[in-house]
Amino acid sequence: MEIIKKFFLFSLLLFGFNQSWAMQDDPAHEQPKGPNGGTLLKSGQAALEITLFEDGVPPEMRVFAYRDHKPLDPAQLTLKVQLKRLGGKVDNLTFQAEGGYLRSEQVVLEPHSYDVSVMATFAGETHQWQYQSHEGRSHIPPRILAASGIKTEVAGPQTLAISRQLFGVIEAPIEKQAGIFVPYPSTVEKIHVSIGQKVKSGQAIATLRNIKTLQRYTIKSPIAGEVTEWIASIGQRVDAEPLARVMDLSQVWVEMSAFPEDIEQLAPGQKVIAADMHQHLKAEGKIIYIAPQMTGGHIARARALIDNRDGHWRPGMHVKAKVITEQRSVALAVKTEALQSYREMDVVFGKFGDTFEVRMLELGASDGDYVEVLAGLEAGTEYATVNSFIIKADVLKDGASHDH
């Protein structure tokens, strides 16, 4: 039922986006195309064709000039182009002649989404044009934004907790285990505790009778803990074999398996976050031991100590262990849940008023929650985090082609 509700909301949102977006991008107002597939601008007998070329080179603007429908020598043209982007940034492009066109001296950065102002001089005549070239945009009114569940955050500096993922098994610490033995051959007369019972240090465990002297005596627990094993029964003769076993499981070991590429990153004292295989509960601890040699399977053992006062972590339980190997401060990061794929690039959607627009990112290190941004996003930009896939769906619905 919940899936149906989400699908209905998703469809409603996209319909709402359709209505608002259609009013902004009426196909009747699209610019005509020139012989090279670019945007064609006309003024009397003069015309410019603006293309974006990015085949094997960083994106650059190439402009072809025409007069009376015939190609014009680009050396006869003076050209300036201004690209106004969301967020207030303005790119001013200058050009130089190359072959049969003018080439921008500046790289046209992603996203290729802007309002374009063109000023060109043909043989002393100045012409001006303005047009829109938008991609990766979605206009979302506040009412629909609130209903969609889309959340935002401001991009800024973060401290990343770089980690390694290991697997391990819970074990009881050796120094927190006690085998209960009798000092001389005896028979068990009375048992004072049962398996699973918590006992204190010095608490009576059993009453026995010395077979040789027939004297009665009491065996006590040397440690506080839980009775995990009881071997003898009333009337049974006991000698060298253990009577019972007590374990203090208030803290337990996480015995982790580390391959060579892992062990190089590990060190005593590093923070460990253990989680059961179903991610129901987590516990924090620190590495207390790293084995000095590898096993036959080229695996090294690393051990962490975690708290277990609530008894969740039972010896023999398999766990996942995230070891924090490095704390790294980065100048700019975004939440990993915000990332989407657009034209085979990692992107987020920046928020500018009621409009979201794609931002292509160059990414660095990640700690699973946040990922470092090396390029493609300005610090202080508000961007979509939760439910950003809805924005992507709306953008793709309006056409994902990268047509310039």
Listed by start position, the domains of the chain span 27-133, 138-161+329-397, 164-172+250-327, 178-246
The angle subtended at Cα 60 by Cα 56 and Cα 65, nearest 5°, is 120
Q: Which residues contact 61 (CB under 8 A, 6 or more apart)?
A: 50, 51, 52, 53, 81, 93, 95, 103, 104, 108
Topology, domain 27-133: Immunoglobulin-like (2.60.40)
Number of DSSP helices (H) and strands (E) in the chain, helices first: 4, 31
The pLDDT confidence band at residue 404, using thresholds 50, 70 and 90, is low
pLDDT for position 291:
92
DSSP state of 146: H
What is the reported pLDDT for 210?
97
Q: Which of 144, 132, 148 is nearest to 24 (CA)?
A: 132
- Report whether CATH 3.40.50.10490 matches the domain 178-246: no
Query: Could you tell me which of 276, 267, 219 has the C-alpha nearest to residue 246?
Result: 219
- DSSP code, position 338: G
What pLDDT score was predicted for residue 398?
A: 66
AA letter at 128? Q
Rg (C-alpha) for the chain, rounded Å, is: 36
Length of the chain equals: 404
Confidence tier at 176 by pLDDT (50, 70, 90): very high
Query: Contact, 79 vs 120, CB < 8 A?
Result: yes
At residue 126, the pLDDT reads: 93
Mean pLDDT of 196-201: 96
CA dihedral of 106, 111, 116, 118, whole degrees rounded to 10: 20
For the chain, percent of residues with pLDDT exceeding 70: 91
Q: How many CB atoms lie within 10 A of CB 263?
A: 19
Per-residue model confidence as pLDDT tens digits over 19-46: 443 334 444 456 788 899 999 999 988 9
Distance CA 196, CA 205 (A): 13
pLDDT tens column, 50-104: 999 999 999 999 999 999 889 999 988 999 999 999 999 999 999 999 989 999 9
Q: Look over the chain and give the mean of its residue pLDDT values, rounded to a whole number.
A: 90
Domain 164-172+250-327 coded CATH 2.40.30.170: yes
Supply the pLDDT for residue 30.
62
Residue 397 is predicted with a pLDDT of 83
Q: Are 266 and 212 in contact (CB under 8 A)?
A: no
Domain 138-161+329-397 = CATH 1.10.3720.10:
no
- pLDDT recorded at residue 12: 46
The answer to whether 39 and 30 have CB atoms below 8 angstroms apart is no
Percent of the chain with pLDDT over 90: 80
Task: Find out whether the peptide bond into 111 is cis, omega within 30 degrees of 0.
Answer: yes
pTM above 0.85? Answer: no
Q: Check pLDDT > 70 for residue 7.
A: no
Q: What is the pLDDT of residues 288-338, one digit of tens each?
A: 999 998 877 788 999 999 999 999 999 999 999 999 999 999 999 999 999
